[in-house]
Amino acid sequence: MKRLNFRIIVTFLTAAFILSISAVAIGAPPIKVGLLVPLSGVYAVQGELIRNGAILAFEQGGEIAGRKVEVIVEDDEAKPDIGVTKWRKLVEKDGVHFTAGVYSSAVGLAVRDMADKYQVPHLFIGGASAMEFLTTKKSAWVRHANYGGVINDYATALYMFKEKKFKKIISMVPDYAWGWSVEECVKAVAKKYGAQVVQTIRTPFPMLDFSPYIAKFSKDADAIYCVYAGTDGPRFIKQAKRLGVNMSDVWSSATFMPGDFEDAGRDALGGNGAIVWLPDVNTPENEAFKKSFKARFGRDAGTQAACAYTSILAATQVLKRISGKVEDKRAFLEGWYNLEPVKGPIVNYVYDKNVESADQSMFVFKVVERDGKPYNKIVAQYDDAKTIDMLRVMGLAK
């Protein structure tokens, strides 16, 4: 199949597949990228969206300084040990120049250590948002090309406590690095605005039955803050609804994230939150992205696809600025500090070297019904939910 004057060669190799993008450049070795994403397990939906968003951006970018781009995909299964094994395979056997991807923060922290040890650049292009990546686990070999830390939750908490003026909430998170970061962020923002978390709940990950925890919800709260992604998100929504929870009282980023929360159906109606990308973002770049994604993959885009797509647009710009000389690892890493404005589905994308991650506009939403399906209606746009401010509120930066 010909697309945009280049060809795609797909070869299935056990759990991996390779995409060679653009016509073969005679005499120029390919730029090899290792894409590590969860394609099975609880986060498989996010992994597929990240993979497809990245592939679409590489396809549209074509050759870089006369070099084709070869993307080798591996499934990390959202498990740290599997992630490390697959990462080493990409680097040691496949000889990739840099790696990208990972969704689970637990896998991300393990991969971060490998990138640091082997001195191979890694780009987080969706998810992997534990605060350690910006603080105790910050690395010169890692770039958070997508949102930094739990910024989606910071924006949600700002709206809850600053605008809605909630005073008492329940916090419920998965019991691992990402959930802990969300919990601490929400507590810090609540404290700043004179509110409090009256009940803190941590659940095993992944989780099949939330019912025992939901049944213990305190009645002395204005709202419930929870974060569950992948198959855990729709599962929580359905079980909470069945147990009588009013979804209008529930706030989250990931739980109502476009791309997978739709599996909860009408049970999700009324949910609230804030996130970096929504389908209704009204820009020409977002409309073009949604159209091309649907044409290429036969399904609607989701938040993680938009994050990965924009991240790879940024990476492609860096590669072009260094004339495709990806072997110069330092030049590739330093190139992130000189990005021109990245025009993609993520609005006002700017890379901040002080926190080694991207900042961007955030969108507050409410889940409503459209064409018989749940849909994220934009309520407000936040342009001042910055990563450095989040770190300061949490006491992690001056």
Whole-angstrom CA distances from 351 to 34, 122, 277, 339, 361 are: 22, 15, 17, 7, 12
Percent of the chain with pLDDT over 70: 93
Mean pLDDT taken over the chain? 93
Residues 250 and 346 occupy one common structural domain: no
Q: Supply angle C-alpha 302, 360, 369, rounded to 5.
A: 40
- What's the pLDDT tens digit per position in 248-268? 999 999 999 999 899 999 999
Across 6-20, 73-87, 114-128, least confident range: 6-20
18 inside domain: yes
pLDDT at 186 (0 to 100): 98
The pLDDT value recorded for residue 7 is: 32
Q: What is the pLDDT of residues 371-397, one digit of tens each?
A: 999 999 999 999 989 999 999 999 999
In the predicted model, what is the mean pLDDT of residues 102-109?
96
Sign of CA dihedral 314, 315, 317, 321: positive
Output b/e per residue, 58-84; b: 16+ Cβ within 10 A: bbbbebbeebbbbbbbbbbbbbbebbb
In a domain, 377, yes or no: yes
Residue 21 has pLDDT above 60, yes or no: no
Residues 266 and 122 in one domain: no
pLDDT value at residue 38: 98
Q: What is the pLDDT of residues 282-321, one digit of tens each?
A: 999 999 999 999 999 999 999 999 999 999 999 999 999 9
- Judge if 134 and 165 occupy the same domain: no
Count of positions (residues) in the chain: 398
Confidence of residue 15 (pLDDT cuts 50, 70, 90): very low
Same domain, 256 and 368: yes
The answer as to whether 167 is a domain residue is yes
Query: The domain spanning residue 210 has which CATH number?
Result: 3.40.50.2300
Q: What is the pLDDT of residues 179-209, one digit of tens each?
A: 999 999 999 999 999 999 999 999 999 999 9
229 and 372 in a single domain? The answer is yes
pTM, two decimals, is: 0.93
| Contacts made by residues 1-6, CB under 8 angstroms, sequence distance 24+ | 3/59, 3/296, 4/59, 4/60, 4/62, 5/62, 6/59, 6/62, 6/63
Looking only at the bridges linking them, the beta strands covering 69-75 and 350-352 are unpaired
Does residue 398 sit within a domain?
A: no
pLDDT above 80 (res 19): no
Confidence at residue 22, expressed as pLDDT on a 0 to 100 scale: 43
Residues 168 and 259 both lie in one domain:
yes
Instruction: Let me know whether 124 and 205 are in one domain.
Output: no
Identify the CA nearest to 3 among candidates 58, 74, 46.
Answer: 58
What share of the chain in percent tops pLDDT 90? 91
Domain hosting 387: range is 151-279+361-393
Task: Determine how β-strand 122-124 pairs with β-strand 98-101.
Answer: parallel
Residues 380 and 287 in one domain: no
